[in-house]
Structure 1
């Protein structure tokens, strides 16, 4: 289900982002240092613009409740 009509220019950008961010495991240590250390393990994290959802998946593995939203399919 899509609530937003995708901009024709969005999908190519999303595809490039997916290639560049293919290893979300590299992002998690940065998030831990900047913000996760301040949250309880029961925190619910909303990732707006989650792209391929790989960061959301890594957060779930670590026990966080997550919701990921993105306009790309």
Structure 2
């Protein structure tokens, strides 16, 4: 009886490993980009770089005693 249970556990583990190995996550990973910007757009010229950098300042948290102060990102 004990050998039967051990064999059942091993076969179940092998079956589950096989099933999980046959599925893929390519559909999950193939998503459209969330923005229309290309990765080199901020570095095309100084104006673009400055504009993208100024937008990053909104992500810096405001440290003060005011409870309503915080970051917007």
- One fold, TM greater than 0.5? no
Which structure's residues are more often helix, by fraction? Answer: 2
Higher relative contact order (Cα pairs below 8 Å, separated by 6+ residues): 1
Larger Rg: 2
- TM-score normalised to structure 1 length: 0.25
Normalised TM-score (structure 2)? 0.25
More strand by share: 1
